[in-house]
């Protein structure tokens, strides 16, 4: 979509009564579950192990998206809206630095910290044993945002269990491999079935179109 069309569309949206500032994103954070307690495990059920597979938390935009936002800010600065409610557009600046591209955001850190807390509360028996890296292995890709996610998650699970600092920080080990050889956490690059059935079959066409907008 041309940038001028995007600006026009944005102005048309702003003319309505809805608060479109809540609609200016294309990615949603991990939702906070309700405060109501989870259903208790059956008395005869004793969890022996737990696997958790998750994506990294909310992150900063990619370099390509940041540059587009910076370009959009320059276009908005040239506008002269007559509606005072739209005056904020001309003063809008891209809030992202190119050096932060792809990094885990503060929101993403909090998301996985809380996920770790909830997981420990839900399955206390699983985490009753003292931490050892072989007992509770954490595997991440070598992307910085993935490693940051693992750190935030681990702190949520074992907060107060370690010997460091006033809050009992516990250093955790994270297993990772080079992206070129990580065939488990990078299946979209190395799995032949994925390439044949998903990528080459154009199954992601709608998602690609959404991203292009």
Task: Average the pLDDT over each of 28-37, 71-80, 190-199 and give the range with the smallest value.
Answer: 28-37
Strand partners, 175: 139
The pTM of the full predicted model, rounded to 2 decimals, is 0.70
HEC profile of the chain:
CCHHHHHHHHHHHHCCCCCHHHHCCCCCCCCCCCCCCCCCCCCCCCCCCCCCCCCCCCECCCHHHHHHHHHHHHHHHCCCCCCHHHCHHHHCCCCCCHHHCCCECHHHHHHHHHHHHHHHHHCCCCCCCCCCCCCCCEECCCCHHHHHHHHHHHHHHHCCCCCECCCCECCCCEECCCCCCCCCCCHHHHCHHHHHHHHCCCCCHHHHHHHHC
Instruction: Name the residue ranges covered by the structural domains of the chain.
Output: 1-28+67-101, 103-176, 180-213
Q: Express each pLDDT in 47-98 by its tens digit.
A: 888 888 888 889 998 899 999 999 999 988 888 778 888 888 888 888 888 9
- Burial of residue 209 (CB within 10 Å: 0-12, 13-18, 19+) is exposed
Task: Average the pLDDT over each of 44-48, 99-103, 124-128 and give the range with the smallest value.
Answer: 44-48
């Amino acid at each position: 979509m041309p940038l001028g069309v995007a600006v026009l569309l944005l102005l048309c949206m702003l003319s309505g009564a809805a608060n479109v500032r809540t609609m200016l994103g294309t990615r949603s954070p991990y939702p906070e579950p309700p405060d109501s307690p989870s259903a208790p495990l059956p008395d005869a059920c004793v969890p022996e192990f737990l696997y958790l597979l998750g994506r990294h938390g909310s992150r900063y935009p990619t370099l390509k998206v940041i540059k587009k936002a910076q370009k959009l800010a320059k276009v908005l600065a040239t506008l002269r809206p007559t509606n005072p409610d739209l005056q904020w557009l001309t003063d809008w600046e891209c809030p992202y630095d190119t050096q932060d591209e792809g990094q885990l955001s503060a929101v993403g850190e909090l998301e996985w910290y809380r996920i770790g807390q909830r997981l420990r509360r839900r399955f206390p028996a699983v985490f009753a044993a003292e931490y050892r890296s072989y007992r509770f292995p954490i595997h991440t890709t070598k992307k910085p945002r993935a490693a940051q996610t693992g750190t935030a998650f681990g702190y949520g699970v074992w907060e107060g269990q370690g010997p460091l600092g006033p809050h009992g920080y516990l250093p955790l080990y994270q297993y990772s491999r080079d992206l070129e050889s990580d065939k488990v956490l990078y299946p979209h690059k190395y799995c032949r079935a994925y390439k044949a059935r998903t990528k080459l079959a154009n199954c992601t066409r709608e998602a690609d179109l959404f991203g292009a907008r």
